[in-house]
Structure 1
Amino acid sequence: MLKVQVTSPGEIAVVDAERPTPAPGEALVRVRYAGICGSDLQTFTGNQPFASYPRVPGHEWSGEITEVNGDSGDLRAGQLVTGNPYFNCGECYSCRRGLVNCCESNQTMGVHRDGSFQEYITMPVDRLYPADGLDPKHAAMVEPFSIGWHAMNRARVTERDRVLVLGAGAIGMLTMVSALARGAEVHIADIVPERLAIARELGASSAVDLTATTVAELMSEATGGDGFDVVGEATGLPVSFLNAIEAAAFGGRIALIGNGKREVSFNQSMLIRKELDVLGSRNSLDAFAPLIELLQRGEVDISPILTAVVPAFATVDAMRDLLEHAELNVKVLVEF
């Protein structure tokens, strides 16, 4: 079978490999589509601190079950599925409390263990979610959708809220869609016009270019100066964190989604003065099934976020293109 392997930082190739064999309790899955995520690019470039090599990237995927070793439950051969790529230990304090997304020994596909950039993978059956009736491309986007969905769960978004999302990458836009699905009024800000155009297509109340408008001006225009009930920070940049504090209403909530790589200095009294809830949001929890149902009912449309589909043999070129032209791509899928 074909697989994409990062042999060392900066070195990536499409190679032949043996098809894996499912262990008891596992299914063999023929991958249909795998999404390229920022963490995959970090693994490729050597900027992912938890990656070891050689490594097959990929944690966003859809596929068809080929066989199951043992009790298949409701699963069947030929069925379209996606899966939770975050493997928790089941023993740490977080896991014992049911917060498996916060597992202290989490292992993520494509980082700590081989991922979905290959024709066949094996997965524990209890980590698979049937996606009958979905476009396989959309099924491969359930995992990134779950990140934004979990963040808006953490921020307790309702139809009464005015929400600002900072960052219009794939996760930012799926965070926006998650808030829209709850009936909130949602605004989004970025510095890339092409991405903002997609956000408008998805239903943003406004999509603001922060190279031409300040956060203070955005807040004044969108809320009359009241501030946003919820701000989702989806870039990880220090300036974006400070913008989130400025944009939030007194008594508001900030959901931190983007992984920061640099320290940020701020006066903690800003949080106290506004009595802000600042919520970290890691991975997702209990999100796959409700999102699949949401997509099956046709209540949301995530197709505008998909900007390219490339064949497996072109994965290396696609990853290099994403590194050089990130502004032109939001979500790129690899077809296996």
Structure 2
Amino acid sequence: MKAVYIVEPGKVEIREIEKPVRKPGEALLKVLYGGICGSDLGSYRGTFAYFDYPRIPGHEFSAEIVEVDEDNEYGLKNGMVVTCNPYFNCGTCYSCQKGLVNACMDNQTMGCQRDGAFCEYITMPLERIFDGKGIPAKVLAAIEPFCIGYHGIQRAGIKKGDKVLVVGSGTIGVLAAIAAKALGGEVYMADVAKAKLDYAMESFGFAGTILNDGPDALDKATKEITGSININGNEAAYGFDVCIEAVGLPSTFQNCIDAAAFGGKVVIIGVGKKNLDFNFTMIQKKELDVYGSRNAMNKDFIELIDIVKEGGVNLEKVITDEYPYEEAAKALEDFSTNGADMLKVILDFTK
């Protein structure tokens, strides 16, 4: 079979490799669509923290079951179109013992710490496979990134009426914003890319957007949106109840700390490799709750498949670009160069 490899930063190859053979308790899957994640893009650029070369990328995907044990306990059958939980946990570390398998101390995510799904066939343990319940295969490939945003939003405990700032209007940021809006949040998105902000507003109708194109832009907008107070001659913004970091840069983490209200919450979803030197006492001064959010849980996949199936969210609007998998090198190069104008990029393995 054929597989997509990122051989080194900036270099992609299509290689011929052995088709996998399933073991008992696994299913053989024919990959249908694969979504290019920000982590895949970071791996292509050489900026992602959890990637070794060469490796098959990809952990957002839909697939068809072509071989599975009959009468298995999960009700999986040949011909079923599915998606999967791609975060492999060790099962024995302290986090796993507590049931926090998404935060496994030896986590191995497909396409990051182990080979991924950008190939014609893969095998998966049955407990990681979820029936797509008739959701179109292309849309089903976007369930995993939706889970990432959804899990982070749940960490924040958003209540109806909370003013929520999402920094980053890429796929994860948009999907986190959708989840926050569904929970009753008054959601604003901030980014340096106007085209992405405009698309997000047009497609999903958030409360507003902030073009973060200067050193004072976010602070000015925060004061206008949340209100402000004069303290010792200085105007200070009230701030957002919840700030979601969905980029993975030191500057965007600082944006969230600065824009959060006293007693507010900050959730870090973005992944980066750079350090930030900042006045950490601001966390104490504002009494901020700062949460990390890593991966997602099986229940997130199950809940979101039902939400999308019932028409609660139109995930198809997130998909802006599609390439045959043989053009993976072009897809990654285009995404790297023109990312400000692209949201979710999909590779087609069906033809």
Give TM-score scaled by structure 2 length: 0.92
1:291 and 2:308 aligned: no
SS at match of 1:82: strand
Deviates more, 1:18-27 or 1:123-132: 18-27
The amino acid of 2:213's aligned partner reads T
What letter corresponds to residue 261 of structure 1 in structure 2? K
With over 3 angstroms needed to count, the CA separation of the structure-2 counterparts of 1:305 and 1:215, relative to structure 1, is same
Distance, in Å, in 1 between the alignment partners of 2:325 and 2:281 is: 51
Alignment-mate amino acid for residue 217 of structure 1: K
Alpha-carbon distance in 2 for matches of 1:189, 1:41:
21
Q: CA deviation at 1:156?
A: 0.6
What is the aligned partner in structure 2 of residue 279 from structure 1?
291
Q: What is the RMSD of the two structures over their aligned residues, measured on CA atoms?
A: 1.6
* Counterpart secondary structure, 1:325: helix
Q: Runs of 5+ in structure 2 lacking a partner?
A: 229-237
CA contact (8 A) 2:6 2:57 kept: yes
Within 1, Cα distance between the matches of 2:301 and 2:163?
A: 25
- Confirm whether residue 203 of structure 1 aligns to residue 205 of structure 2: yes
Name the CA distance, whole Å, in 2 between partners of 1:240 and 1:312.
Answer: 32
The question of whether the paired residues in 2 share the 8 Å contact of 1:31 and 1:116 is answered with yes
Q: For the residues of structure 1 that align with 2:258 and 2:167, how far apart are their CA atoms?
A: 12
Distance 1:48 1:267 in 2: 26
Measured in 2, the distance between the counterparts of 1:72 and 1:33 equals 25
Secondary structure (helix, strand or coil) at the match of 2:161 reads coil
The answer on 1:222 being equivalent to 2:234 is no
Partner Cα separation in structure 2 for residue 192 and residue 244 of structure 1? 17
Asked if the contact 2:88/2:107 (under 8 Å) is kept, the reply is yes
Partner of 1:241: 253
Residues 315-335 of structure 1: per-residue CA shift (max 9 Å, x gap): 111111111221121110001
Output aligned runs, 1:53-72, within 5 Å.
Answer: 53-69=53-69, 71-72=71-72
- 1:138-157 map, 5 Å: 138-157=139-158
CA contact (8 A) 2:35 2:344 kept: yes
How far apart are the structure 2 equivalents of 1:71 and 1:133? 21
Q: Residues of 1 paired with 2:217 and 2:7: CA distance?
A: 43
Whole-angstrom distance in 2 between the partners of 1:130 and 1:158: 31
Mapping 1:96-175, distance limit 5 Å: 96-175=97-176
SS at match of 2:27: strand
Moved more, 53-62 or 7-16: 7-16
Q: Distance in 1 between matches of 2:102 and 2:252?
A: 24
Q: What's the CA shift for 1:6?
A: 2.5
Range with bigger deviation, 45-54 or 298-307: 45-54
Secondary structure at the counterpart of residue 39 of structure 2: helix
- Displacement of 1:69: 3.8
Displacement after TM superposition at 1:235 (Å): 1.3
How far residue 72 of structure 1 moved from its aligned partner, in angstroms, is 2.7
What SS is found at the alignment partner of 1:287?
A: helix
**1:157 alignment partner, SS class:** coil
In the aligned structure 1, how far is the partner of 2:47 from the partner of 2:277? 23
Structure 1 CA distance for aligned equivalents of residues 69 and 26 of structure 2:
6
Q: What corresponds to 2:232 in structure 1?
A: none
Cα pair 2:59 2:86 within 8 Å, conserved: yes
Distance 1:108 1:245 in 2: 29
Number of the residue aligned with 1:181: 182
Q: How many Å apart are 1:29 and its aligned residue?
A: 0.8
SS of residue in 1 equivalent to 2:150: helix
CA distance in 2, matches of 1:38, 1:269: 31
- Structure 1 portions without partners, runs of 5+: none
1:326 lines up with 2:327 in the alignment: no
Task: Report deviation, 1:49.
Answer: 4.2
1:241-294 per-residue CA deviation (whole Å, 9 max, x = no partner) reads 222122111111000111132211222221112111011111112311111111
Q: How many residues align?
A: 336
Q: Structure 1 CA distance, aligned partners of 2:49 and 2:273?
A: 11
State how far apart, in whole Å, the 2-side matches of 1:294 and 1:49 are.
Answer: 32
Q: 1:252 aligns with which of 242, 251, 264?
A: 264
TM score, norm. by length of structure 1 = 0.96
- The AA in structure 1 aligned to 2:242 is V
Deviation, structure 1 residue 208: 1.5
Matched residue, 1:317: 330
